[in-house]
Chain A
């Protein structure tokens, strides 16, 4: 086994571990916003780790270059989608968890803060 294959397998292993942790957070957290935070951070870093590991394994051929191109696209699109989902859920009327402390977006929309 070469060095680049070993480094690639280590990066893919980190990525899969982050994916598992993100999905456990998605399943176990109590609120929409908490679930969105856990899932999006861990799954974005996990999938970027998998793509970077594939680039390390293959080098500069067609598969490795396309995997490397996929990383900035994923880093640009995934947080924007998560932000749009959180804003839509707040406008839709999903309540916060009962132990949540502060809700700044409700003040920005001109309503009185309830806490």
Chain B
């Protein structure tokens, strides 16, 4: 299980490289969105390794926070305010 955790941390570093190199603003937003989805799986594996079941609650909350953040960033991209 620990090797899976290390591989997922490596994937997070690949996403960070794309967020650093990306030429346009939407490239960086896509990288951050996918890093949020990776963090859900990473937290779920951590819950199995440490045998603490509250960490899966963190994963469930992270899904919705990542979704709301992505929608807000997409609204910013299409030149609108948040209540429009």
Secondary structure class of chain B's binding surface, majority of residues: helix
CB-CB under 8 A from B71, the residues of chain A are 80-81, 84
Chain A residue with the shortest CB-CB distance to B39: A47
Contact across chains for B77 and A66 when beta carbons are under 8 A apart: no
CB atoms of A26 and B30 under 8 A apart = yes
| A22 surroundings in chain B (CB, below 8 A) | 11, 34
**Size of the chain A interface, CB-CB below 8 angstroms:** 47
Contact B11 A85 (CB under 8 A): no
* Chain B interface size, under 10 / 10 to 19 / 20 to 34 / 35 or more: 35 or more
- The verdict on A32 contacting B27 (CB below 8 Å), with A73-B60, A77-B67, A87-B78 known, is yes
Q: Which residues of B contact A36 (CB under 8 A)?
A: 30
- B63 and A73: CB pair below 8 A? yes
Given A67-B44, A88-B26, A88-B78, 13 other A-B residues pairs in contact with their CB atoms under 8 A: A12-B45, A16-B4, A44-B37, A46-B41, A61-B53, A74-B40, A80-B71, A84-B74, A87-B74, A88-B76, A89-B26, A91-B77, A92-B77
